């Protein structure tokens, strides 16, 4: 009898996922473009674990790999996102039969997933897109899984396997659920990553404020982040932050963080989220600023030169450090709520745009464990969606409204002080400004409309006429 499932790609994630699958009692065949990686995997991570050994089979050519699988074949691709996914699926085609299932579990662009579903369906292959989050460890012990594609096939062939290998919440609920058709699974994973960028940048700005404005040591900052992690900011990302601040460099014995270059990298999912927000005309400035923050950090050479030209930064003077730290906790929390509010508004807009019928409260629960943004806070978002009213924006819900109201004065004090001292805190500013714009009955956009109408006859609506009527004013006489 053939293996239950195949994993194509023995990189960081593929290895962990294959071991996770075997540890749940499923037989799994593994394959990698370069057989060396498969050999190393078998030698280093499978041998010596007799229980796993029995269930993992290695293949070194595509025909043997496909022949080793029970039918209909279920093949999980864990390869580099982009054209590689098309290339490896095309390479598999000669060895597949009608009805086989190929699941792309990488961080693929959701529009590519839809295109692939349509293209491979014509060849009789059922293509699925599946967001997976949790990094190397999550993939090994239980990631958050966001699958999309044909619902009936999912229920028949994939649901049990994927829920078995996913993370589970304390009450035993799996962090895996069918998301919807097309590339909706990878879309939800993309927005997860956009929120991840916002969460990371929010924490990093808090670190920077403590370091630059309060002059705190790494050890002192670690204690603050640890105390936050015991409160409402409890999350995987805050937890790793305080642990990072306590990590020593094996080479020098110094705090490792102080030797890490301040140039952030990225693989593209945060940028796609920002682009999608722009394309959907959705205001998601916090996530966009988190991407720009990485871009700005990466032009280090220019920053070094510019810092010599504009070297003056006003000195910080904070009288009551403990009070300021309490304000900072409020600022980080408010920034977080507002960023998630933007992310869920984007999901909601995408769901309407593509007719995906996304269950936003359930998505919050999928992210409760296993993924990079996992946090107790996500239960609160689920609750907000369970209030029985349509959620227009999370900041308006009973769950978050009063907390936001209470946090805003402290949030303003922190941002004002940081700006006064010349600190770069883009997501803190972006979320506060989003809040101020979103909660303003009137904005300056009447002037924008007048200007557009002046130079381009773009028309405007009037406050004393029905909204479906457009007006153009003759601002100047043209000869």
Q: Report long-range pairs for 299-306 (Cβ below 8 Å, ≥24 apart).
A: 300/261, 300/262, 300/263
Tell me: is residue 193 an annotated ligand-binding position.
yes
Round to whole Å and give the CA distance between 195 and 207. Answer: 18
Round to whole Å and give the CA distance between 408 and 331. Answer: 7
User: Is-contact 367 196, C-beta < 8 A?
Assistant: no
What is the closest distance, in whole angstroms, from the C-beta atom of residue 136 to ligand NDP in the complex? 6
What is the closest distance, in whole angstroms, from the C-beta atom of residue 267 to ligand 5RP in the complex? 4
Round to whole Å and give the CA distance between 84 and 81. Answer: 6
Rg over alpha carbons for the chain, rounded to the nearest Å, is 25
Does 80 sit near ligand NDP (CB under 6 A)? yes
Instruction: Exactly one of 74, 114, 182, 189 is catalytic; name it.
Output: 189
Q: Which residues bind ligand 5RP (CB under 6 A)?
A: 107, 133, 135, 193, 196, 266-267, 269-270, 372
Residue 14 binds which of ligand 5RP, ligand NDP, none (CB < 5-8 A, kind-dependent) = ligand NDP
Q: Nearest to residue 125, comparing CAs of 83, 151, 94?
A: 94
Site residues (CB under 6 A) for ligand NDP, limited to 82-141:
84, 87-88, 106-107, 132-133, 135
Tell me: is residue 232 an annotated ligand-binding position.
no
Q: Binder to ligand NDP among 4, 37, 119, 460 (CB under 6 A)?
A: 37
Could you give the C-alpha distances from 328 to 104, 284, 333, 419, in angstroms and in order?
41, 22, 8, 14
Cross-sheet strand order for the sheet of 74-77: 56-58, 28-31, 5-8, 74-77, 101-104, 126-133, 144-148
Q: Is 189 a catalytic residue?
A: yes
Q: Is 196 a catalytic residue?
A: yes
Among the residue ranges 30-38, 64-72, 272-280, 336-344, the one whose residues contact ligand NDP (CB under 6 A):
30-38
- Which of 62/415 has CB closer to ligand NDP? 62
Q: Nearest to residue 168, comparing CAs of 366, 358, 383, 378?
A: 366
91-102 exposure pattern, b = at least 16 Cβ within 10 A, e = fewer: ebeebbeeebbb
| 8 to 27: interface string for ligand NDP, x by CB under 6 A | -xxxxxx-------------
Strands 126-133 and 144-148, sheet pairing: antiparallel
Tell me: is residue 294 an annotated ligand-binding position.
yes
Tell me: is residue 197 an annotated ligand-binding position.
yes
Residue 198 binds which of ligand 5RP, ligand NDP, none (CB < 5-8 A, kind-dependent) = none
Residue 11 binds which of ligand 5RP, ligand NDP, none (CB < 5-8 A, kind-dependent) = ligand NDP
Round to whole Å and give the CA distance between 294 and 381. Answer: 27
What is the closest distance, in whole angstroms, from the C-beta atom of residue 316 to ligand 5RP in the complex? 30
What is the closest distance, in whole angstroms, from the C-beta atom of residue 3 to ligand NDP in the complex? 18
Residue 266 binds which of ligand 5RP, ligand NDP, none (CB < 5-8 A, kind-dependent) = ligand 5RP
Instruction: Exactly one of 74, 114, 182, 196 is catalytic; name it.
Output: 196
Could you give the C-alpha distances from 158 to 110, 151, 235, in angstroms and in order?
20, 10, 29
Residue 433 binds which of ligand NDP, ligand 5RP, none (CB < 5-8 A, kind-dependent) = none
Q: Binder to ligand NDP among 42, 81, 298, 318 (CB under 6 A)?
A: 81
Instruction: Please give the distance of CA 458 from its chain centroid, rounded to a whole number.
Output: 37
Helix residue ranges, H only, 166-299: 184-212, 218-229, 236-245, 269-279, 285-298
Residue 12 binds which of ligand 5RP, ligand NDP, none (CB < 5-8 A, kind-dependent) = ligand NDP
User: What are the residues facing 235 on neighbouring strands?
Assistant: 375
Burial of 226 (0-12, 13-18, 19+ CB in 10 A): middle
Q: Nearest to residue 173, comparing CAs of 344, 426, 370?
A: 370
- Which of 14/185 has CB closer to ligand NDP? 14
Does 382 sit near ligand NDP (CB under 6 A)? no
Round to whole Å and give the CA distance between 394 and 385. Answer: 9
- Which of 21/213 has CB closer to ligand NDP? 21
Does 79 sit near ligand NDP (CB under 6 A)? yes
DSSP state of 258: G
| 171 to 210: interface string for ligand NDP, x by CB under 6 A | ----------------------------------------
Among the residue ranges 78-86, 305-313, 390-398, 438-446, the one whose residues contact ligand NDP (CB under 6 A):
78-86
Pick out the residues of the known binding site for substrate. Answer: 107, 133-135, 192-193, 197, 267, 294, 452, 458
Q: What residues are annotated to the active site?
A: 189, 196
What residue ranges bind ligand NDP (CB under 6 A)?
9-14, 32-34, 37, 78-81, 84, 87-88, 106-107, 132-133, 135, 267
């Amino acid at each position: 009898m053939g293996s239950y499932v195949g994993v194509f790609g023995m990189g960081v994630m593929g290895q962990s996922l294959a071991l996770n699958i075997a540890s749940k009692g499923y037989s799994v065949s593994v394959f990698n473009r370069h057989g060396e990686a498969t050999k190393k995997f078998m030698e280093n991570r499978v041998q010596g674990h007799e229980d796993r050994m029995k269930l993992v089979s290695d293949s070194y050519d595509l025909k043997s790999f496909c022949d080793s699988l029970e039918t209909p074949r279920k093949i999980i691709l864990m390869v580099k996102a982009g054209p590689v996914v098309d290339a490896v699926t095309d390479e598999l085609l000669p060895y597949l039969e009608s009805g086989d299932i190929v699941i792309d579990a990488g961080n693929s662009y959701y529009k590519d997933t839809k295109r692939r579903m349509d293209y491979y369906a014509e060849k009789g292959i059922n293509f699925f897109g599946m967001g997976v989050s949790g990094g190397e460890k999550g993939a090994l012990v239980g990631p958050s899984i966001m699958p999309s594609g044909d619902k009936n096939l999912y229920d028949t062939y994939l649901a049990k396997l994927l829920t078995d290998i996913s993370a589970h919440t304390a009450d035993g609920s799996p962090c895996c659920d069918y998301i919807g058709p097309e590339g909706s699974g990878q879309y939800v994973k993309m927005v997860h990553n956009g929120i991840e960028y916002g969460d990371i940048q929010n924490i990093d700005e808090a670190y920077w404020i403590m370091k630059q404005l309060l002059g705190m040591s790494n050890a002192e900052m670690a204690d603050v982040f640890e105390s936050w992690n015991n409160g409402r900011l409890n999350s995987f990302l805050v937890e790793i932050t305080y642990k990072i601040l306590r990590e020593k460099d094996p080479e020098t014995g110094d705090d490792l963080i102080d030797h890490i270059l301040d140039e952030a990298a990225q693989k593209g999912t945060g940028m796609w989220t920002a682009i999608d927000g722009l394309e959907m005309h959705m205001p998601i400035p916090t996530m966009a600023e988190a991407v720009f923050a990485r871009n700005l950090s990466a032009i280090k050479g220019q920053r070094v030169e510019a810092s010599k030209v504009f070297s003056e930064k006003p000195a910080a003077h904070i009288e009551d450090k403990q009070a300021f730290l309490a304000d900072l906790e409020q600022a980080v929390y408010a920034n977080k709520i507002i960023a998630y509010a933007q992310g869920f508004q984007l999901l909601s807009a995408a769901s309407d745009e593509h007719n995906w019928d996304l269950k936003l409260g359930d998505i919050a629960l999928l992210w409760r464990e296993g993924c990079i943004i996992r946090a107790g806070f996500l239960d609160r978002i689920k609750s907000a969606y369970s209030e029985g009213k349509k959620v227009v924006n999370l900041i308006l819900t009973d769950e978050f409204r009063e907390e936001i109201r209470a946090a805003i004065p402290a949030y303003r004090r922190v941002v004002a002080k940081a700006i006064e001292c010349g600190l770069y805190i883009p997501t803190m500013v972006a979320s506060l400004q989003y809040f101020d714009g979103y909660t303003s009955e009137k904005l300056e956009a009447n002037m924008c409309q007048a200007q557009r109408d002046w130079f381009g006859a773009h028309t405007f609506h009037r406050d004393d006429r029905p909204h479906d009527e457009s007006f153009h004013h003759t601002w100047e006489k043209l000869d």
